Chain A
Amino acid sequence: MRRFGVILFTLISGFYLCVPLLMAAPASPDASGSFTGTISDVSAVKAGGPTLEEVANTAGHNRVAINFVWVLVAGFLVMFMQPGFAMVEAGLTRAKNVAHTMAMNFLVYPLGMLGFYICGFALMFGGIGALGTLGGYAGLNHEFTISLFGKSFGLFGTKGFFLTGSSYDVAVYTLFLFQMVFMDTTATIPTGALAERWKFLSFCIYGIFVGTIIYPIFGNWVWGGGWLAMLGQNFGLGHGHVDFAGSSVVHMTGGVLALIGAWIVGPRLGKFNKDGSANPIPGHNIPMAVIGTFILAFGWFGFNAGSTLAGTDLRIAIVAVNTMLASATGAMAATLWMWLVRTKKPDPSMMCNGMLAGLVAITAPCAFVNSVSASIIGLIAGILVVEAVYFVEGKLKLDDPVGAISVHGVNGLWGCLALGLFADGSYGDGWNGVTGTVRGLFYGDASQFFAQCIGVISNFVYVGLISIVVFKLIDLIVGSRVTPQAEIDGLDVPEMGVVGYSGIKLDKHSETPISR
């Protein structure tokens, strides 16, 4: 045995001694990296001697390639927000429901994606026209419009179903990946507000509706060339409703869905007493919630900076810094507001909500504001989210275990309005076809603020109405709620068939506080 070891050792070391000899084959290695990539890497008929046209083609190809890689990698980051949501939501709810909460956050990904693939993407982007930063392909070129007051109102796109035919294109596929993970962010927001009582089947039906219709229609109005984007061109309202990365399109949509869902499905058993006062139902895993929040904050760099749809647009530096600053001021504001004003304790769950609130609020204005404005927007978001949590529970009497309505709904709204206030005119020339940069109320363009107001009101009305229809319909056909007994026992076994924490005895903190 020992002799075998000696032979093996000799063979391996002999092999490694030979490696430098083998590697000496190229003329000279480039350890500094300064000499790799030269004229010989430019595609040319005559190697090493490209024509001007060949150089220009390569430059153009590389520019678009940088944008492709940027958008795809940013999309991969946003995809990783899914485990962030799963951990925040599972951490802030009870141990006895953890398999159910996690399973909703898991299944929303494939469900929503397939819905978006079948028709959501086509409805949202089917009429967007040329994809400027991704090479200018113009295959997504048909928008369904109606005429009112002599102006055309774009309602939804009609190209790109199943990504076939004229959509079988690299730029379209890149856009699809990036926009699909945004849609899934919206889809997973209500699973937190409806956690611990939502029937799994009705959640599944909801997931299909979000990906196919609810999200894409509003998305088309803002990002797909629809009527909200055209408010500037048609009615002279700033640059139309501007939402850089989705404070309204993604977050407010998710927040309004959460609001209507929480209202129709009703509070968890034991949440409210007969006199209307609320009982606290502590979540089971603060570490999970904190890690989930950090994963979301990480993914948010893809969310916001990726929304330039161009790695060659160097505004990405401003976008990324604004994003991180607003997350910091949001977290600090919520922490201090709880600590000094509300309860005399800093409260980790509100710290997390505060950071997410700052991120949601900066999502729309991140590209249009300076760092001081970004910090102020996050600061206000941090206070807003805490007060909203109290308001939703105390005044609206809605049960939102993780604060989804306050984080995404309230701060999505605030983020869109903040753009209309703080946009400083340093970016966005030609946005939505309007010449000049985007300016908010504080920088001289009140009409931009007006357009933002129309945007958020439209979001509330449209998403509110369609989600009432969808949630009511699901409630009538399959029912929205689990049985009270399932709720008391925990949803894991009756709904999912497994126990989330098998082999661990759950204590009284996992129980439902009945008739207190």
Chain B
Amino acid sequence: MKKIEAIIRPEKVEVVCSVLESIGYPGIMVTEIEGHGKQKGLTQQWRGKEYKVNLLPKIKIEVVIKDEHLERTIKAIREAAYTGEIGNGKIFVLPVEDVIRIRTNERGNTAV
């Protein structure tokens, strides 16, 4: 089992969620975060003075999947979140030791 953490543009959250649902992963976690990667912040101004806003709003989507679905999930997220502009975000893949469904006490793949 793998956990995917995808950092994406806020305006892409709807389309990424819907492709994840369409490939069989309706259960996802979404967090509003701030940060920046290689892309630097924005310049704003207030009463004639410019200042940098270094942290930009982003969305973090977390989803736990079965090992065999890894590549197609990555592909689906990439295609949905892609614009080609700088600031498209990143996808992190982490191993998951076990999954437990609280209601039924199912373990492992069946609980994903």
Query: Which A residues have a C-beta under 8 Å from some C-beta of B?
Result: 278-283, 338, 342-343, 345, 347, 349-350, 386, 389-390, 403, 508
Contact = CB atoms under 8 A, between A and B. Distances in A.
A350 B48 contact: yes
Nearest to A403: B47
A279 B49 CA distance: 8
B46 A389 contact: no
Consensus secondary structure, chain B interface: strand
A389 B47 contact: yes
A389 B48 contact: yes
B45 A343 contact: yes
B48 A343 contact: yes
A512 to B, nearest CB: 14
B47 A349 contact: yes
A454 B24 CA distance: 82
Interface of B: 44-51, 55
A282 B46 contact: yes
A279 B44 CA distance: 12
Contacts of B47: 280, 347, 349-350, 389, 403
Leading 4 A-B pairs by shortest Cβ distance: A280-B46, A280-B49, A282-B46, A280-B51
B48 A281 contact: no
5 contacts: A279-B49, A282-B44, A347-B47, A386-B48, A389-B48
A132 B49 CA distance: 51
A282 B43 CA distance: 13
Contacts of A386: 48
B55 to A, nearest CB: 8
B47 to A, nearest CB: 6
B43 to A, nearest CB: 10
A342 B49 contact: no
A282 B51 CA distance: 10
Given A343-B50, A508-B55, 15 more contacts: A278-B49, A279-B51, A280-B46, A280-B47, A280-B49, A282-B44, A283-B46, A338-B48, A343-B45, A345-B45, A347-B47, A347-B48, A349-B46, A350-B47, A389-B48
**Interface hub of B44, B45, B48, B55 (most chain A Cβ within 10 A):** B48
A403 B48 CA distance: 12
A349 to B, nearest CB: 6
Contacts of A403: 47
A381 B103 CA distance: 71
A389 B46 CA distance: 12
**Interface hub of A282, A350, A389 (most chain B Cβ within 10 A):** A282
A347 B47 CA distance: 7
Contacts of A338: 48
A225 to B, nearest CB: 41
A390 B48 contact: yes
**Interface hub of A280, A345, A389 (most chain B Cβ within 10 A):** A280
Contacts of B49: 278-280
Contacts of B55: 508
B84 to A, nearest CB: 27
Nearest to B50: A343
Contacts of B45: 280, 343, 345, 347
Contact of B46 (A281, A342, A508): A281
B46 to A, nearest CB: 4
B107 to A, nearest CB: 38
A403 B47 CA distance: 9
Contacts of B51: 279-280
Contacts of A345: 45
Nearest to B55: A508
A350 B47 CA distance: 7
Contacts of B44: 282
Contacts of A347: 45, 47-48
A343 B49 CA distance: 8
A278 B47 CA distance: 12
B57 to A, nearest CB: 10
Nearest to A401: B47
Contacts of B46: 280-283, 349
**Interface hub of B44, B49, B51, B55 (most chain A Cβ within 10 A):** B49
